[in-house]
Amino acid sequence: MLFEPAPAKVNLALHLRCRRPDGYHDLETVFAFTAFGDTLHAEADDELSLAIAGDWAVAAGEGSDNLVLRAAVALRQASGHRGGARLHLDKRIPVAAGLGGGSADAAAALRLLNRLWGLGWEMPRLVALAAGLGADVPACVESRACFGSGRGDALAPWPAELAGTPVLLVNPRVPMPTSAVFAGWDGTDRGGIAPGAALADLRNDMTDAAVAIAAPIAAVLARLRSLAGTTLVRMSGSGATCLALFQTADARDQGAAMLGDTSWWMAPTSLL
């Protein structure tokens, strides 16, 4: 039995640039990943199968449209491997939450099956295959802070050291339809992300469209901004999860305690 973590993805900034003829958007984003995430296990088998457990298992769905199985099929086809795998996913990342849960799971499946099947593919080859599975999947294969442009799948290093930064993730338990949030963007290009720009000077250009769909996001952002010791408060992806970066792990834990007894989903963690 082999094991692979599927770290949650956060967007520390997300600037929308233009709508594309293919229905996607050109954007610039700072991706980061957290110690918190899903976990995937696999053992060799003749067929491909997937079982899901965990808090968000039902919302994720075990059907053949699950991105884990689509990733496994894509890797098997591209590599010509004949066997299968029995995959077990522990689903802890909220679904439709701006945390790239499905993309993280697909990326973990590529890394895990590359090992299980002894394919020996190097990272760039896995990243290239990942682009066919979704715009965020290449970044999730790397699972390291990086800069993304194009659909989010053209990757470059991000110069600032972020590893170890304490972060609190908060979601008001409203599932967000990603394409509807993109469609709600007003189409104004407010400028790109200069390499190495200070994160505090950057934005998430989907925030207004997301708040228009799910008003509780504004309350989450306001509560996070009221906490002591934060260095950044921002919505991730198309929402509804928001994040706060903190100066210290103590400040993060005190912040989580201050939010206290809400119905909101929360995860105190740190950036990878």
Calpha distance 28→31 (Å, rounded): 10
Task: Give whichever of 192 and 229 is closer to ligand C5P, judged by the CB atom.
Answer: 192
Rg (CA), the chain: 18
In the list 32, 126, 135, 209, the residue contacting ligand C5P (rule: CB under 6 A) is 135
Task: Give whichever of 104 and 256 is closer to ligand C5P, judged by the CB atom.
Answer: 104
Calpha distance 96→173 (Å, rounded): 10
Task: Give whichever of 19 and 41 is closer to ligand C5P, judged by the CB atom.
Answer: 19
In the list 7, 11, 12, 25, the residue contacting ligand C5P (rule: CB under 6 A) is 25
Does position 185 interact with ligand C5P (CB under 6 A)? The reply is no
> Which tokens sit at 79?
């590599």
Task: Give whichever of 106 and 251 is closer to ligand C5P, judged by the CB atom.
Answer: 106
For 214-247, b/e burial (b = at least 16 CB within 10 A) is bebbbebbebbeebeebebbbbbbbbbbbbbbbe
Task: Let me know if 91 is a catalytic residue.
Answer: no
How near is the Cβ of 26 to ligand C5P at its closest, in Å? 7
- Maximum C-alpha span of the chain: 55
Does position 17 interact with ligand C5P (CB under 6 A)? The reply is no
Using CB under 6 A, which of the segments 18-26, 46-54, 160-168, 263-271 binds ligand C5P? Answer: 18-26
Does position 217 interact with ligand C5P (CB under 6 A)? The reply is no
Number of residues that bind ligand C5P (CB under 6 A): 12
Strand-pairing partners, residue 39, are: 5, 90
Calpha distance 160→19 (Å, rounded): 29
In the list 37, 84, 94, 134, the residue contacting ligand C5P (rule: CB under 6 A) is 134
Task: Let me know if 153 is a catalytic residue.
Answer: no
Contact 215, 222 (CB under 8 A): no
Does position 37 interact with ligand C5P (CB under 6 A)? The reply is no
Task: Give whichever of 7 and 152 is closer to ligand C5P, judged by the CB atom.
Answer: 152
Q: How far is CA 259 from the centre of its chain?
A: 23
What DSSP state is assigned to residue 108? H
Residues that bind ligand C5P (CB under 6 A): 23-25, 27, 134-136, 151-152, 178-179, 182
Catalytic (active-site) positions: 9, 136
